Amino acid sequence: MKRLAVYCGSATPEDPVYIETARLVGRTLAERGIGVVYGGGRLGLMGAVADSALAAGGEVIGVIPDALVGAEVAHKGVTELHVVSGMHERKRMFTDLSDGFLTIPGGVGTMDELWEAISWAQLGYHDKPVGLLNAAGFYNELIAFNRHMIEVGFIRPAHAGIMIVDAGLDELLDKMASYQPHKSIFAMKADDL
C-alpha cells in the first residue's frame, strides 16, 4: 500500500483520545512510507492526521470541495491540494489516488465515506482494503450492526470480510496489507445473489 485514504472527522472532541489517535495515524503512516489521501482540511482530526504525517516526513494529498476552501478550512501546507466541485468528485478522487481506505473516528461525513467504500467494494468498483480503526471502542455499536446485517442476510457471506476491523493501528494496517479481494457482485451471476 503506497497511499491510504484516511476518513475521519473535522471536529475535535473533548476527549483527547481521538486527536491522539489521529496524530498516531498520520505519524505511523508516514513512518511506514504510506502516503495520506484525506479531506484536505486543517481542522479537527483531519488536520491532526495531516500535520502529524507531514511532521514525520510523509506525503499528504488533500481533496477538498471548493465550498470548503471558501470557508477557509483548507490545509494550505499539504504536499498536494486538489480542489474539486463537490463531494462525489472528492470521493472518486479518494478512490483513484489510494490503495485502500482507513476510517478512524468521525461523524456523518466519515460514515458516508466508509459505507461508500464498502458498497463500491461489494459491487466491484474497486478491490481495495477497507479498514476501520476501533479506537477507544468508538465503533463497537457499528461493528455490532455490521455483524447483524451479515447474520440477517443483507451482507452476503462473500462480502462479510470487506470491512477489516482492529483496535490496534499496526495490526489493522497489517491486516489491510494482506487483504485478499472477494468476488464482487459484478462478477456474480444471478444465482449467486
Please give the average per-residue pLDDT across 27-44, as a whole number.
Answer: 97
Per residue in 44-102, pLDDT (tens digit) is 999 999 999 999 999 999 999 999 887 778 999 999 999 999 999 999 999 999 999 99
pLDDT surpassing 90 at residue 114: yes
The per-residue b/e assignment along 18-53, b for 16 or more CB within 10 angstroms, e otherwise, is bbebbbbbbbbbbeeebbbbbbbbbbbbbbbbbbbb
Q: Has this prediction a pTM greater than 0.85?
A: yes
Confidence of residue 190 (pLDDT cuts 50, 70, 90): confident
Boundaries of every domain in the chain? 3-192
Q: Are 143 and 134 in contact (CB under 8 A)?
A: yes
What is the reported pLDDT for 61?
A: 98
CATH dotted code for 3-192 = 3.40.50.450
Percent of the chain with pLDDT over 70: 100
Q: Return the closest-CA partner of residue 132 out of 1, 25, 3, 46.
A: 25
pLDDT surpassing 90 at residue 121: yes
Per residue in 10-21, pLDDT (tens digit) is 999 999 999 999
